[in-house]
């Protein structure tokens, strides 16, 4: 009994009870002293019984008041707890920065909207619009997080105004917003809404005297019951948005089943590529580089080919971008370089090998050391190796590129600037970095026959190389007309289908043995 009492009355509440009961005793004593209870003598026999009756009454009254007070406090605590839970539940469904709904509440709204839609609403269409901001990351980097928060709040307000009435808007993680919109069944309504959202976001945001500009890419997906779960709808919208990003940003795309199929195919390709690198399924092919005008072979450019067990021989355009995006390009390049050095070390010792190095690799520490280790391991002379880089690598990190190239050139490795004229072409790069060769991109070579203006550009590149003491190689030569013109302009080397397609080691050696390839010692210009 005592344990139950202690359980139902806390220490503070027990103190209140005792105080109120003592107060009742005090009231009784005061009443006795003043004779306030004499009227009870007529009702209750014995003055002592009357006093005891009144003492019990007042002590019971104190206990009653204590119980009522406890009940009132308990009810107040319950109400406060319920209010706090409701506020916490509401806060858990809203984004604290913009005040918009968050992912959790948006999914709840989507499910509720689906349940409430009647079968008669066949003339309308329920769609999800996923809005991802373009160029938002530089805002935080240039102006700070406060500016980024201001932009997000402004974008949220603009999207709310731009959406049709009855729409639901939420902010997902980071710089993504999502809207649930009911429109007509035609695609024109979707396009009109998406374009309005993009326009609303693209207007500059004023912040502390700065005009901050961001953009938006929108992915649209059907949100009807037939579209699957809410997570499936959001995933579809994300796939459509990703396609819009790949197509150039600042646009919108509507989800198609083919997008999911492409994504799954890409995932399978990535998995297969990892296996291919581990198992050596990717091998080097060799395209001849010839001296002009005689067309004697001076070396080969190394090009990767993948002998896929199911899809056959795959060109680099299929898997090199995947390798670059997933970080596998380093392992792939190491594999190709090692095999090429082993293949070519017994060929005539004046034939050079030209290998491409991806821009991402120049950000890796120890690239020069890894190349040196491969040359040492295979016994391939550094003087016979030529490394080709694009200007993208230079722009990403000039000093890291300079350090790597300097180490390689100190070993005797030659360095060529590849695809000259297609990227961030700059005389500054030619001045700051000591290249050995300029490679003229095939897009220029193919345009020689299209007009004098295009030919003049190629002629200018050749003359620029000559003035700087650099040899020049023209890529993509496919006809005699281009060959004759380039030879007359003083281009040193040529490469293209006119001289030979990329071929495996066995084919190279067969053509050497049959005299189909005429090796020649390459000329070197004095700087």
Start-to-end CA span in the chain (Å) = 105
- Could you tell me if 283 and 247 lie in one domain? no
What is the rounded average pLDDT of the residues 454-470?
86
Does the predicted model carry a pTM greater than 0.85? no
Asked whether residue 521 is assigned to any structural domain, the reply reads no
Looking at mean pLDDT, say which of 184-188, 360-364, 407-411 comes out highest: 407-411
- Could you tell me if 143 and 87 lie in one domain? no
Asked whether residue 96 is assigned to any structural domain, the reply reads no
The confidence band for 87, taking pLDDT boundaries of 50, 70 and 90, is low
Q: What is the CATH number of the domain that holds 339?
A: 3.20.20.450
Is the predicted pLDDT of residue 522 greater than 60, yes or no?
A: no
- The rounded mean pLDDT for the chain is 81
**DSSP type of residue 433:** S
What is the rounded average pLDDT of the residues 214-225?
89
Record the tokens describing residue 282, joined without a space.
């990717």
- With a pLDDT cut of 70, the percent of the chain lying above it is 77
176's enclosing H/E stretch is strand 176-184
Query: The dihedral of CA 338, 343, 349, 350: what is its sign?
Result: negative
Asked whether residue 334 is assigned to any structural domain, the reply reads yes
Looking at mean pLDDT, say which of 1-5, 396-400, 405-409 comes out highest: 405-409
What is the rounded average pLDDT of the residues 255-275?
84
Confidence at residue 396, expressed as pLDDT on a 0 to 100 scale = 65
Q: Considering only CA atoms, which of 128, 255, 252 is closest in space to residue 198?
A: 252
What is the rounded average pLDDT of the residues 474-498?
91
What is the rounded average pLDDT of the residues 315-321?
91
Residue 293, helix vs strand vs coil: coil
Residue 170, helix vs strand vs coil: strand
Confidence at residue 512, expressed as pLDDT on a 0 to 100 scale = 85
Confidence at residue 273, expressed as pLDDT on a 0 to 100 scale = 94
Distance CA 96, CA 242 (A): 27
Confidence at residue 15, expressed as pLDDT on a 0 to 100 scale = 61
Confidence at residue 96, expressed as pLDDT on a 0 to 100 scale = 85
User: Residue 425 is part of which domain span?
Assistant: 272-513
- Could you tell me if 307 and 436 lie in one domain? yes
The confidence band for 99, taking pLDDT boundaries of 50, 70 and 90, is confident
Residue of higher predicted confidence among 36 and 435: 435
Asked whether residue 179 is assigned to any structural domain, the reply reads yes
Asked whether residue 519 is assigned to any structural domain, the reply reads no
Of the three residues 66, 91, 116, the one that is the final residue of a domain is 91
Confidence at residue 367, expressed as pLDDT on a 0 to 100 scale = 87
Confidence at residue 263, expressed as pLDDT on a 0 to 100 scale = 74
For 123-144, the pLDDT digits (tens) are 578 899 999 999 898 888 888 8
CB contact at 8 A, 437 and 386: yes
Q: What is the CATH number of the domain that holds 162?
A: 3.30.70.270
Beta bridge partners of 307: 313
Is the predicted pLDDT of residue 52 greater than 70, yes or no?
A: no
């Amino acid at each position: 009994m005592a344990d139950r009492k202690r359980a139902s009355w806390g220490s503070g509440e027990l103190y209140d009870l005792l105080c109120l009961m003592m107060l009742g005793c005090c009231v009784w004593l005061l009443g006795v002293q003043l004779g306030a209870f004499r009227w009870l003598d007529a009702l209750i026999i014995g003055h002592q019984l009357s006093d005891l009756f009144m003492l019990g009454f007042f002590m019971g009254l104190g206990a009653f008041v204590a119980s009522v007070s406890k009940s009132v406090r308990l009810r107040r605590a319950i109400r406060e707890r319920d209010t706090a839970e409701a506020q916490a539940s509401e806060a858990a469904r809203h984004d604290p920065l913009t005040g918009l709904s968050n992912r959790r509440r948006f999914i709840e709204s989507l499910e509720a909207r689906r349940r409430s839609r009647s079968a008669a609403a066949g003339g309308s269409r329920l769609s999800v619009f996923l809005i991802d901001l373009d160029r938002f990351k530089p805002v935080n980097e240039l102006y700070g997080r406060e500016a980024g928060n201001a932009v997000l709040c402004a974008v949220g307000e603009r999207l709310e105004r731009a959406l049709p009435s009855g729409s639901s808007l939420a902010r997902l993680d980071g710089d993504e917003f999502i809207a649930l919109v009911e429109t007509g069944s035609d695609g024109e309504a979707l396009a009109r809404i998406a374009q309005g959202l993009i326009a609303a976001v693209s207007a500059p945001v004023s912040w502390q005297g700065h005009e901050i500009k961001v953009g938006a890419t929108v992915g649209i997906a059907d949100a009807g019951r037939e579209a699957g779960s809410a997570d499936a709808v959001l995933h579809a919208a994300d796939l459509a948005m990703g396609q819009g990003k790949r197509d150039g940003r600042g646009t919108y795309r509507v989800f198609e089943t083919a997008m999911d199929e492409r994504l799954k195919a890409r995932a399978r390709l990535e998995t297969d590529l990892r296996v291919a690198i581990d198992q050596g399924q990717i091998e080097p092919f060799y395209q001849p580089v010839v001296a002009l005008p005689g067309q004697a072979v001076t070396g080969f450019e190394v090009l990767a080919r993948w002998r896929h067990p199911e899809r056959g021989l795959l060109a680099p355009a299929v898997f090199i971008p995947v390798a670059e995006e997933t970080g596998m390009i380093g392992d792939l390049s190491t594999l190709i370089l090692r095999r090429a050095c082993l293949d070519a070390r017994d060929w005539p010792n004046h034939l050079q090998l030209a290998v491409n190095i991806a821009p991402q690799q120049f950000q890796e520490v120890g690239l020069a050391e890894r190349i040196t280790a491969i040359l040492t391991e295979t016994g391939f002379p550094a003087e016979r190796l030529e490394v080709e880089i694009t200007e993208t690598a230079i722009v990403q990190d000039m000093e890291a590129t300079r350090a790597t190239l300097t180490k390689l050139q100190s070993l005797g490795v030659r360095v060529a600037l590849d695809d000259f004229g297609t990227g961030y072409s700059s005389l500054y790069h030619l001045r700051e970095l000591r290249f050995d060769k300029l490679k003229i991109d095939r897009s220029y070579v193919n345009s020689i026959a299209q007009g004098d203006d295009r030919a003049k550009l190629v002629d200018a590149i050749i003359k620029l190389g000559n003035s700087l003491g650099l040899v020049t190689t023209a890529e993509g030569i496919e006809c005699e007309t281009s060959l004759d013109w380039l030879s007359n302009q003083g281009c040193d080397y040529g490469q293209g289908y006119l001289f030979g397609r990329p071929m495996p080691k066995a084919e190279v050696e067969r053509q050497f043995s049959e005299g189909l390839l005429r090796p020649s010692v390459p000329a070197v210009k004095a700087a």
